[in-house]
Amino acid sequence: MVYRTLLNPQIDFVFKKIFGTEKNKPILINFLNAVIKPTTPIKDVEIKNNDIDKDFIEDKFSRLDVKATTSNKEHINIEIQVKNEYNMIQRTLYYWSKMYSEQIQNRDNYSKLERTVCINILNFKYLKNDKYHNAYRLKEITSNEELTDLQEIHFIELPKFNEIGNKEYVENVEKMDA
């Protein structure tokens, strides 16, 4: 009898095998459609080299967990973070800015810059609310008017999902059966 053990998707290697390989593109596409909820569903993704280009030799080297471009021309970064290093917002903005800026070269027009989305899956509570999925864009401070959707950042906090999300998921499935 052969026993198989389930591998933990919170381990970088396993996470990258699930979301960052050509073989599993349908899983990545379904995940992105569920998280981003685009008006035009994502039909395909191109998985990219996950290194962030350095402009200067002394620049910090960064390697993303999963880096992709969608059929909607969105640039996507998905990160899994198991341990709270108390820097997720700064780290996310850094990764976002690098992905955004590497889209154009010296003489390119800024209009070539495409929507860039960072999705952070956290195995710890980070934000001070009860929601397990929070999404952010640039907005005007007093009117809350959205400036642009070129920047979008998601935080999915697994401990909160385990507390709240599972209940919501079961309720939604029960509604579908009714």
Residue 88 contacts residue 81 (beta carbons within 8 Å): yes
Distances (CA, A) of 1 to 4, 110, 174: 10, 60, 36
Count the Cβ atoms, other than its own, within 10 Å of residue 71. Answer: 14
Q: Strand runs (DSSP E) across the chain, as ranges?
A: 45-47, 51-52, 62-63, 66-70, 75-81, 116-122, 133-139, 146-157
Handedness of CA 84, 87, 90, 95 (dihedral sign): negative
The whole-number pLDDT of residue 21 equals 85
Q: Are strands 116-122 and 75-81 parallel, antiparallel or unpaired?
A: parallel
Token code pair at residue 68: 């992709």
| The predicted structure's pLDDT at residue 55 | 62
Digits of tens for pLDDT over the chain (178 positions)? 666 667 777 777 777 788 888 999 999 999 999 999 999 999 999 888 766 665 655 666 556 778 899 999 999 999 999 999 999 999 999 999 999 999 999 899 999 999 999 999 999 999 999 999 999 999 999 999 999 999 999 999 999 988 876 666 556 545 545 4
Terminal-to-terminal C-alpha distance of the chain: 40
